[in-house]
Structure 1
Amino acid sequence: MQQLLSRIQELAAAQATDVVGLRHHLHAHPELSFEEYQTAAFVADELRKLGLEPQPIANTGLVALIEGRNPGRRTVALRADMDALPIQEQNDVPYRSQNPGVMHACGHDVHTSSLLGVARILVQLRDEFEGTVKLMFQPGEEVVPGGASIMIKEGVLDNPAPQTVLGQHVFPQLPAGKVGIHAGRYMASADELYLTIRGKGGHGAMPDLNIDTVLVAANLIVAAQQLVSRRANPKIPSVLSFGKVIAQGATNVIPNEVYIEGTFRTMDEQWREQAHVHLRQLCEGLAASMGASCELEIRRGYPCLDNDVDVTQRVRAAMVEYLGEENVVDIDQWMASEDFAFFSQAAPSCFYRLGTRALDGRYAASVHTPVFDIEAHALAVGPGLMAWLALNELQA
Structure 2
Amino acid sequence: MLIDKIKTLCSLYSGEIIADRRHMHQHPELSFHEHETAAYIKKLLDLLEVPWRASAGTGIIGTITGSKPSSTVVALRADIDALPIDEENDTPYRSVHKGIMHACGHDVHTASLLGVARIAQALKDDFAGQIKLIFQPAEEKYPGGAKAMVEEGFLNYPGLDAVIGQHTMPELEAGKVGMKPGRYMASNDELYITIRGRGGHGAQPHLNVDPVVIASHVIIALQQIVSRIANPAMPTVLSIGKMFAAGSTNIIPEEVYLEGTLRTLDETWRKEVHAHIEKIAKGISESMGGTCNVKIQGFPGVHNNEELTAKVFQYAVEYLGKENVVTLNTWMAGEDFGEFSQLAESCYYRLGVGNKAKGINSSLHTPTFDVDELNVFNMSSGLMAYIALRRLGNK
Give TM-score, length-normalised by structure 2. 0.96
Partner of 1:54: 52
Q: 1:383 aligns with which of 373, 381, 384?
A: 381
Distance 1:73 1:325 in 2: 32
Q: How does 1:76-155 map to 2 (within 5 A)?
A: 76-155=74-153
Shift of 1:154: 1.1
Partner of 1:343: 340
Shift of 1:161: 4.6
Shift of 1:212: 2.1
Distance 2:278 2:159 in 1: 39
Distance 1:129 1:272 in 2: 42
Q: 2:299 aligns with which of 294, 297, 302?
A: 302
Distance 2:231 2:6 in 1: 46
Shift of 1:22: 1.1
Q: Which amino acid counterpart does residue 170 of structure 1 have in structure 2?
A: T
The 8 Å contact of residues 181 and 316 in structure 1, kept in 2 or not, is answered as yes
Distance 1:199 1:112 in 2: 48
Shift of 1:253: 2.6
Partner of 1:241: 239
CA-to-partner distance for each residue in 1:31-55, whole Å, 9 max, x for gaps?
Answer: 1111111111111111111121111
Q: 1:368 aligns with which of 365, 369, 381?
A: 365
SS at match of 2:99: coil
SS at match of 1:106: coil
Q: 2:36 aligns with which of 13, 26, 38?
A: 38
Shift of 1:206: 3.2
CA-to-partner distance for each residue in 1:12-66, whole Å, 9 max, x for gaps?
Answer: 1121111111111111111111111111111111111112111111111111111
Q: 1:271 aligns with which of 269, 272, 286?
A: 269
The 8 Å contact of residues 306 and 345 in structure 1, kept in 2 or not, is answered as no
The 8 Å contact of residues 180 and 304 in structure 2, kept in 1 or not, is answered as yes
4+ residue segments displaced more than 4 Å: none
Q: Which amino acid counterpart does residue 302 of structure 1 have in structure 2?
A: F
Distance 1:109 1:160 in 2: 30
CA-to-partner distance for each residue in 1:288-324, whole Å, 9 max, x for gaps?
Answer: 11121111111x2111110110010000011111111
Q: Which amino acid counterpart does residue 319 of structure 1 have in structure 2?
A: A
Distance 2:279 2:212 in 1: 19
The 8 Å contact of residues 156 and 343 in structure 2, kept in 1 or not, is answered as no
SS at match of 2:60: strand
Shift of 1:359: 5.0
Listed as ranges, the gaps of 5+ residues in structure 2 are none
Listed as ranges, the gaps of 5+ residues in structure 1 are none
Distance 1:310 1:28 in 2: 39
CA-to-partner distance for each residue in 1:237-282, whole Å, 9 max, x for gaps?
Answer: 1110001111222233322211111111111111111111111111
Distance 1:41 1:288 in 2: 52
Q: Which amino acid counterpart does residue 385 of structure 2 have in structure 1?
A: A
Partner of 2:4: 6
Distance 2:252 2:39 in 1: 54
Two-structure CA RMSD over aligned residues (Å): 1.4
Shift of 1:160: 4.4
Shift of 1:190: 1.2
SS at match of 2:340: helix
Of residues 23-32 and 243-252 in structure 1, the stretch that sits farther from structure 2 once superposed is 243-252
Shift of 1:203: 3.0
The 8 Å contact of residues 160 and 343 in structure 2, kept in 1 or not, is answered as no
Distance 2:247 2:110 in 1: 47
The 8 Å contact of residues 319 and 383 in structure 2, kept in 1 or not, is answered as yes
When the two structures are aligned, how many residues end up with a matched partner? 393
Shift of 1:173: 0.4
Partner of 1:73: 71
CA-to-partner distance for each residue in 1:69-127, whole Å, 9 max, x for gaps?
Answer: 34433110000111111122111111111222211111111111100101111111111
CA-to-partner distance for each residue in 1:116-144, whole Å, 9 max, x for gaps?
Answer: 10111111111111111111111111111
Distance 1:41 1:161 in 2: 29
Distance 2:34 2:339 in 1: 20
SS at match of 2:361: coil
Q: Which amino acid counterpart does residue 225 of structure 1 have in structure 2?
A: Q
Change (3 A) 1:93 1:361: closer
Give TM-score, length-normalised by structure 1. 0.96
Partner of 1:313: 310
Change (3 A) 1:246 1:57: same
Change (3 A) 1:345 1:362: farther
The 8 Å contact of residues 176 and 359 in structure 1, kept in 2 or not, is answered as no
Q: Which amino acid counterpart does residue 4 of structure 1 have in structure 2?
A: L
The 8 Å contact of residues 71 and 132 in structure 1, kept in 2 or not, is answered as no
Aligned-pair identity (%): 51
Shift of 1:361: 5.0
Of residues 136-145 and 206-215 in structure 1, the stretch that sits farther from structure 2 once superposed is 206-215
The 8 Å contact of residues 6 and 386 in structure 2, kept in 1 or not, is answered as yes
Q: 2:319 aligns with which of 311, 318, 322?
A: 322
Q: Which amino acid counterpart does residue 359 of structure 2 have in structure 1?
A: R
SS at match of 1:136: strand
The 8 Å contact of residues 305 and 345 in structure 1, kept in 2 or not, is answered as no
